[in-house]
Amino acid sequence: MNQPFYTGKGIGVAILDTGIYQHIDFDSRICVFADFITHKKVPYDDNGHGTCVAGILAGSGAASMGKYKGAAPGCHLVALKVLDRFGNGNKEDVLKAFEWILCNRQRYNIRIVNISVGTTYRTRSEQDVLVKGVEKLWDEGLVVVAAAGNQGPDPQTISAPGNSRKIITVGSYDFAERTDVILSSHSGAGPTFSCIKKPDVVAPGSHIISCCPPDKTNGSLYSKKSGTSMSTPIVSGAIALLLSKYPSMSPRETKIRLKNSS
């Protein structure tokens, strides 16, 4: 008997980023767009980072004949714009997005929250606000996946909210088949200031090709980026596949399964 092929179908993933371009690889799976920066109603991405993240997570590969397919091409996307065209944002807008998710999670079947961004706040009090925010989502049954940040490789360089002890924190490793490619060690490293071992898992994060707005690449529908931002949606996509097969799995069970099988 043929085994079912899981694509993450039906799983809603909230992506907090710079927005999303209505790329052909997303077909009709952008189920909602919420803009906390300029409050526009139509999906857009004036930076390109959010579209890249979404493509790694859920792109169908339609524009590349399947070559650049995302990890979970069947899940649907909840795009929340919390960063401006320079990739900057503030914690107030991020916290508003968290509350929006809690209010709309059932409507859009949101199971996963992907946060491919990290704060540069240096004070513990400023970081704690974001950490408490993601832990509230986690406690409400949402699987939160956050980037470790690109401030490594020195110890204690995990960005908030990735330094939360509860959520799944993703670092990146550099890999290239070509020997002439110079690789950099940028991934945030633990332990956290609370002596928690982080990141929880690592994934490819160097020279990742994914979707982009064509106006950012002179017409090309794909671009290449590196960093823990690219590693994070790979893991979120893997979790979407897992939850499509085991829909009753809790965030804690998901984290244990992910770590034990890595």
Determine whether 35 is an active site residue: no
Residue 169's pLDDT band (cuts 50, 70, 90): very high
Average pLDDT for residues 192-196, to the nearest whole number? Answer: 84
Catalytic residue among 49, 226, 231, 244: 49
As a whole number of angstroms, the distance between CA 242 and CA 8 comes to 8
Average pLDDT, the chain: 91
Return the sign of the alpha-carbon dihedral for residues 102, 234, 5, 252: negative
What is the model's pLDDT at position 172? 92
As a whole number of angstroms, the distance between CA 114 and CA 14 comes to 6
Per the model's pLDDT, the better-predicted residue between 7 and 234 turns out to be 234
As a whole number of angstroms, the distance between CA 230 and CA 56 comes to 7
CB neighbours of residue 246 within 10 Å: 13
Kind plus residue range of the DSSP H or E element containing 143 = strand 143-147
Average pLDDT for residues 32-49, to the nearest whole number? Answer: 97
pLDDT higher than threshold 80 for residue 119: no
pLDDT higher than threshold 80 for residue 122: no
Token readout for 97 is 């997005």
Average pLDDT for residues 140-154, to the nearest whole number? Answer: 94
Where do we find the tokens 């070509």?
A: 178
Closest by Cα among 79, 216, 80, 49 to 147 = 49
As a whole number of angstroms, the distance between CA 48 and CA 104 comes to 25
Determine whether 39 is an active site residue: no
What is the model's pLDDT at position 118? 80
Question: Cα-Cα-Cα-Cα dihedral of 262, 169, 230, 226, to 10°?
Answer: -100
Closest by Cα among 87, 247, 252, 255 to 169 = 255
**Per-residue pLDDT tens digits for 214-243:** 988 888 999 999 999 999 999 999 999 999
> Which of 90-94, 143-147, 218-222 reaches the highest mean pLDDT?
143-147
Residue 167's pLDDT band (cuts 50, 70, 90): very high
**Per-residue pLDDT tens digits for 10-23:** 899 999 999 999 99
Determine whether 49 is an active site residue: yes
Taking CA atoms, 89 is separated from 93, 95, 120, in Å, by 7, 11, 11
What is the model's pLDDT at position 9? 84
Residue 3's pLDDT band (cuts 50, 70, 90): low
Q: How far is CA 251 from the centre of its chain?
A: 16
Please indicate, yes or no, whether the overall pTM of this predicted structure exceeds 0.85: yes
- % of the chain surpassing 70 pLDDT: 91
Strand-pairing partners, residue 110, are 12
Catalytic residue among 17, 25, 45, 93: 17
**CA 81, 83, 87 angle in degrees (round to 5)?**
140
What is the model's pLDDT at position 179? 52
Amino acid identity at 123: T
Any idea which of 70-79, 152-161, 179-188, 197-206 has the lowest mean pLDDT?
179-188
What is the model's pLDDT at position 244? 96
pLDDT higher than threshold 70 for residue 125: no
Return the sign of the alpha-carbon dihedral for residues 73, 75, 77, 83: negative
As a whole number of angstroms, the distance between CA 81 and CA 71 comes to 22
Catalytic residue among 229, 231, 236, 244: 229
Average pLDDT for residues 155-170, to the nearest whole number? Answer: 94
As a whole number of angstroms, the distance between CA 83 and CA 47 comes to 9
As a whole number of angstroms, the distance between CA 258 and CA 251 comes to 10
What is the model's pLDDT at position 1? 44
What is the model's pLDDT at position 57? 98
